[in-house]
């Protein structure tokens, strides 16, 4: 094979792909209809293969996705942040699950910012003269999509906490960021997609009614803690004791973050949009 000049970036190189930008060398043979259809199908199967491979690794080998990704083994996986985005979109497509979109009533009685929330609501009612019920309704509608997109906020905060907890391992914030995407992907899959689906099915098939929000919340966090223990052990190479500590503190931090920071931001944005 002769030396090629890249059509995309002008670099001279040997082989089938440009070593600077990755552009492929196309020949006459590549310019058939069959080829372009094949390429399209290849993208689909490739996309699907990577997606399910990533999903499988997240469930079956906690921590491995982050470990591989940070060690430069990336081709066989979906990019972690894109994967997380896909999950949020999937979650957006299932409006049956309320998840974290709390009613206005919940916010105004919140033990931390409840007073602030009720005075905000009172001043809006004062200015606009809409009824409290109408405001509550439009607030709920505004919160529906917002609550899901705000899930992205969790990652940088949790990664920072992880960085502090795992400080003595001297890993970069980047590594914690990747690891947090993995554990939060599991959190969304498990807590917002799989478990709610299971509860709905249980309600349809049997007479068992699960209506205690708190017990569901604890169950979600409990499973998340076990997952985090296994994942942090593999990724950080912690001792068992330290991974247990990490796995107890992480869900506590996550729950606290959601309860006090996330919900406050959600209230603040949704009330402005309402």
Exactly one of 6, 57, 65, 184 binds Zn ion (CB under 5 A); that residue is 6
Nearer to Zn ion, 6 or 155 (CB): 6
Question: Which range touches Zn ion (CB under 5 A), out of 21-29, 72-80, 90-98, 209-217?
Answer: 21-29
Contact 134, 233 (CB under 8 A): no
Contact 62, 230 (CB under 8 A): yes
The token pair at 206 is 């049997």
Nearer to Zn ion, 11 or 134 (CB): 11
Q: Residue 19, interface with Zn ion (CB under 5 A)?
A: no
Question: Which range touches Zn ion (CB under 5 A), out of 6-14, 133-141, 207-215, 252-260?
Answer: 6-14
Strand partners, 12: 5
**Least distance to Zn ion from the beta carbon of 76, Å?**
24
Q: Which burial class, exposed, middle or buried, applies to 147 when counting CB atoms under 10 A from its CB (0-12, 13-18, 19+)?
A: buried
Q: What is the DSSP letter of 16?
A: S
Nearer to Zn ion, 7 or 35 (CB): 7
Q: Residue 23, interface with Zn ion (CB under 5 A)?
A: yes
* 3-state SS class at 13: strand
CA distance 103 to 146: 13
Strand partners, 17: 24
Strand partners, 4: 13
CA distance 96 to 27: 50
**Least distance to Zn ion from the beta carbon of 8, Å?**
5
CA distance 153 to 158: 9
Q: Residue 12, interface with Zn ion (CB under 5 A)?
A: no
Question: Which range touches Zn ion (CB under 5 A), out of 5-13, 100-108, 179-187, 192-200?
Answer: 5-13
Q: What is the DSSP letter of 258?
A: I
Exactly one of 5, 8, 32, 45 binds Zn ion (CB under 5 A); that residue is 8
Question: Which range touches Zn ion (CB under 5 A), out of 23-31, 92-100, 157-165, 204-212?
Answer: 23-31
Nearer to Zn ion, 30 or 105 (CB): 30
Nearer to Zn ion, 23 or 137 (CB): 23
Q: Residue 20, interface with Zn ion (CB under 5 A)?
A: yes
- CA-closest candidate to residue 177, choices 246, 81, 85, 242: 81
Nearer to Zn ion, 17 or 198 (CB): 17
Contact footprint for Zn ion (CB under 5 A):
6, 8-9, 11, 18, 20-21, 23
């Amino acid at each position: 094979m002769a030396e090629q000049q890249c059509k995309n970036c002008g670099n001279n190189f040997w082989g089938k792909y440009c070593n600077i930008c990755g552009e492929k060398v196309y020949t006459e043979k590549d310019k058939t209809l069959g080829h372009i259809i094949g390429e399209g199908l290849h993208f689909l199967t490739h996309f699907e293969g990577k997606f399910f491979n990533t999903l499988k690794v997240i469930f079956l080998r906690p921590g491995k996705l982050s470990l591989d990704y940070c060690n430069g083994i990336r081709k066989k996986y979906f990019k972690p942040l894109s994967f997380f985005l896909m999950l949020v979109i999937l979650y957006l497509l299932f409006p049956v699950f309320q998840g974290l979109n709390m009613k206005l009533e919940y916010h105004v009685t919140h033990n931390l910012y409840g007073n602030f929330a009720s005075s905000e609501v009172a001043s809006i009612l004062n200015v606009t003269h809409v009824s409290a019920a109408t405001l509550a309704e439009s607030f709920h509608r505004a919160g529906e999509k917002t609550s899901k997109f705000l899930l992205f906020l969790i990652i940088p905060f949790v990664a920072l906490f992880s960085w502090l907890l795992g400080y003595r391992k001297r890993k970069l914030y980047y590594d914690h960021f990747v690891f947090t995407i993995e554990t939060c992907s599991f959190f969304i899959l498990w807590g917002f997609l799989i478990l709610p689906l299971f509860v709905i099915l249980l309600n349809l098939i049997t007479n068992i009614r699960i209506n205690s929000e708190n017990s569901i919340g604890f169950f979600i966090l409990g499973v998340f803690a076990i997952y985090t223990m296994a994942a942090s052990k593999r990724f950080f190479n912690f001792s068992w004791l330290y991974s247990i500590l990490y796995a107890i503190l992480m869900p506590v931090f996550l729950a606290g973050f959601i309860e006090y920071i996330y919900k406050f931001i959600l209230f603040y944005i949704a009330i402005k949009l309402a």
